[in-house]
Structure 1
Amino acid sequence: MSINEEIQRIRDLIANGAEHTIVQNADLPPKPDISLVEGGKLKFSEVPDSGLVVMLRYSGFQAFDKVVFNLAGESPDDTFAKSWDLIGEGTIEFIVPKAELEKFLGSYALALYFIYRVNDNQTSNWTYFDVIP
């Protein structure tokens, strides 16, 4: 499955009322942590000019495992992506520029990570939130 197929699969789940995945795999990291999201909403006006801080916590990765973080909207054109190679465990903290968030105003933003494992397995976890003025 490609990351675009996974994003579309999750968009379909959201359209049918899903809130987030059910973690069935013990080594699957938790969904992305975005501290400014409260009650499923992100107030764009409260995002600092420096951008939105997102954290991914992870463990149990082997050399050459790779994670791709995507922030995707309802439209395939609305995306922001970053990627890292992971080993072991830790926390990734990064900034989504405020200008990138603006395209999600009045819509939802899907925060998704997609893990490409060295053994060819792929997995993801996600959350979504409404972006309001």
Structure 2
Amino acid sequence: MRRAVENLAINAVKYGAAGRPITITVKELHERLFILVHNEGRHIPAEQQATLFRAFQRLAAEGGSHRGWGLGLAQVRAAAEAHGGSIAVDSLPELGTTFTIDVPVDGRLGAKGRKPGDPDRS
């Protein structure tokens, strides 16, 4: 999870507007942990948000200004899901972009909702 948050923070710096704040917020609610990373700058169009967490996906308008393989957000998604959670993005031109990781407080539950050592009931 540390690397997932690190990836989101690096992306916020990379793609956020220069001189504008980046915020990282952690909230606990109903046995869930929410980690929000917000930046201001160019928003992510809705049609691109649907594929953003797939491996090798990059924003269409990025061009060559930022280097990378398009694996970072896929890795964030994999980490969240491995802890029984998810990742979402909310992006609007006037409000900026917020990535939200949502995982159970007890991350040991994993993707199938079992603790380590529990028998496999699938």
Tell whether the structures are fold-level matches, with TM greater than 0.5: no
Looking at CA atoms only, which structure, 1 or 2, has the larger radius of gyration? 2
Give 1 or 2: higher helix fraction.
2
Structure with the larger strand share: 1
Greater relative contact order (Cα < 8 A, sep 6+): 1
